[in-house]
Amino acid sequence: MELFEAIKTRKSIRKFKDKPVEKEKIIKIIEAATLAPNSENKQPWKFVVVQDKDKKKEIAKISILGGIKRYTSIKDELNEKFKAMEDENRKKLLDRFVSGELFHFLLECPVQVVVLADNNIIYAVHSCSAAIQNLSLAAHALGLGSCWTMIGSINSKNEKKIRKLVGYPEDNWKIAGVLALGYPDQDPNPRKRKPVEEVIDWQ
């Protein structure tokens, strides 16, 4: 797949086929992630590939509860954000947020990739974010779908629970993202983006 086509057509996937992901493909996309730009070439990352059903379920559960807490607290803001929608559609969408249903895809995906940043290295999370972009694009180029989420780690207690689950309990590690990965079982419409003229400031 040509680079700009991959960038333009990549989408966040939240519905996956019940089909395992080949180990060779997982290795290939993580290799692409490790080629990302990073501060001082410190490569401050670890990629934990979670396929164990019980671990995936626990990570999903933590993320879902995190989503419920986060979006229940800002329900009024969400209501305002989606005010242009028809009442019934807006209610359904709000219910998905505050019930945690929005994150159920973490229960169903064949693979979760927990990306950890080494807190002892400067700009580690920034570097890992670049790696996650590479990972997402490489997955798309290989016919896979992914969705990057932080909802399980915005709360420090939940973040530590996930780190402990995957064997990195030490506080010198921080989760940069949890990615759902698998063969897509949906083709969502592209999300609207700001016109490029709106985001460029020529000086």
Domain spans of the chain, in order of start: 12-185
Do 109 and 181 form a contact (C-beta atoms < 8 A)?
A: yes
pLDDT in tens, 29-38: 999 999 999 9
Cα 117 from Cα 1, distance rounded (Å): 29
Give the pLDDT of residue 83.
Answer: 87
Cα 75 from Cα 53, distance rounded (Å): 32
Task: Say how many CA atoms lie within 13 Å of 189 toward its Cβ.
Answer: 3
Give the pLDDT of residue 95.
Answer: 92
CATH of domain 12-185: 3.40.109.10
Share of the chain above pLDDT 90, in %: 87
- Average pLDDT along the chain: 95
- Residues near 42 by beta carbon (within 8 Å), at least 6 away in sequence: 118, 121, 122, 124, 127
pLDDT in tens, 77-97: 998 988 888 989 999 999 999
